[in-house]
């Protein structure tokens, strides 16, 4: 069973891509809504929450882990694999697959993410390793606004304000928070002519390479959330309403 975790609904974008690539796998998704948003948490808090989330998924029977949270990815180190006796073939985070997708890319790159992700420097360092410099743009209020179901108008205003004063052009914008692709249409509206990159497909492709066929099972989908949320339930229904799934509050 593949365990997926995020601070809330953002990871559903990753789960959708994972389900597409691995239709016969069993998935357990944990959304830590009670502690959301992660993007404004300290490094120490993110480390603790990440450990708790991985522990929860393993205790529930997960044999492979996908961290569908860029803020948490900043805390994922090899020591975490040692802590849980996991191998690098059992865990996937967001940064590696995302950066790998840009090997050989010649255009200019901007990256939008949470404060925690930007401050960690994890993406800047990873892109630098493949010879690329990026413009990192923090959008502090956006993840929480999406998670709590703010209106399209409110979300558009946040994105407009973020990019209005920026004069440096870029060819592609990487959405390095899994909540952001949930409002992909608004990003495209605000930034016409800019390619918007959703890392979910890159992560799902990496998962297929690592987890298939060992994760072939019954194709079940279970959701567990740390606090009930009507916006979360609605997004699950919108994305997975055509399939069987269960939602548990724990």
**Which one from 15, 69, 76, 224 is the annotated catalytic residue?**
69
Residue 199, Cα to own-chain centre: how many angstroms? 8
Taking the C-alpha atoms of residue 228 and residue 48, their distance in angstroms, rounded to an integer, is 22
**Helix, strand, coil fractions of the chain, as percent rounded to 5:** 45, 20, 35
Angle CA 191–110–189, to nearest 5: 10
* Residue recorded with tokens 């800047």: 124
- Active site (annotated) includes residue 70: no
**Which one from 177, 183, 207, 236 is the annotated catalytic residue?**
177
Minimal CA–CA distance to 93: which of 120, 128, 115?
120
Cβ–Cβ contacts within 10 Å for residue 117, how many?
28
Tell me the two tokens of residue 106: 């010649």
Residue 173 backbone phi and psi in degrees, to 5: -115, 120
- Active site (annotated) includes residue 121: no
The neighbouring-strand residues paired with 129 are: none
Query: What sign does the dihedral 241-150-180-172 (CA atoms) show?
Result: positive
Taking the C-alpha atoms of residue 40 and residue 52, their distance in angstroms, rounded to an integer, is 18
Q: Catalytic residue positions?
A: 69, 177
């Amino acid at each position: 069973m593949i365990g997926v975790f995020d601070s809330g609904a953002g990871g559903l974008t990753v789960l959708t891509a994972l389900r597409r690539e691995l239709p016969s796998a069993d998935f357990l998704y944990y959304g830590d809504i009670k502690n959301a948003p992660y993007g404004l948490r300290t490094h120490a808090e993110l480390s603790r929450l990440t450990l708790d989330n991985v522990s929860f998924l393993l205790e529930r029977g997960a044999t492979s882990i996908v961290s569908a949270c860029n803020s948490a990815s900043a805390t994922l180190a090899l020591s975490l694999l040692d802590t849980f006796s996991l191998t690098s073939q059992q865990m996937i985070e967001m940064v590696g697959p995302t950066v790998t997708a840009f090997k050989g890319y010649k255009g200019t790159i901007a990256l939008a993410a949470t404060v925690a992700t930007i401050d960690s420097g994890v993406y800047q360092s990873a892109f630098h390793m493949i010879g690329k410099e990026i413009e990192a743009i923090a959008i502090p209020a956006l993840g929480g606004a999406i998670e709590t179901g703010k209106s399209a108008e409110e979300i558009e205003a946040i994105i407009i304000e973020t990019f209005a004063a920026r004069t440096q052009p870029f060819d592609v914008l990487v959405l390095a928070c899994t909540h952001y692709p949930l409002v992909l249409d608004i990003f495209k509206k605000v930034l016409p002519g800019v390619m918007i990159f959703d890392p979910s497909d890159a992560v799902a492709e990496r998962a297929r390479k690592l987890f298939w066929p060992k994760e072939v099972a019954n194709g079940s989908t279970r959701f567990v959330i740390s606090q009930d949320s009507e916006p979360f339930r609605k997004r699950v229904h919108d994305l997975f309403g055509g399939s069987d799934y269960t939602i548990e509050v724990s």
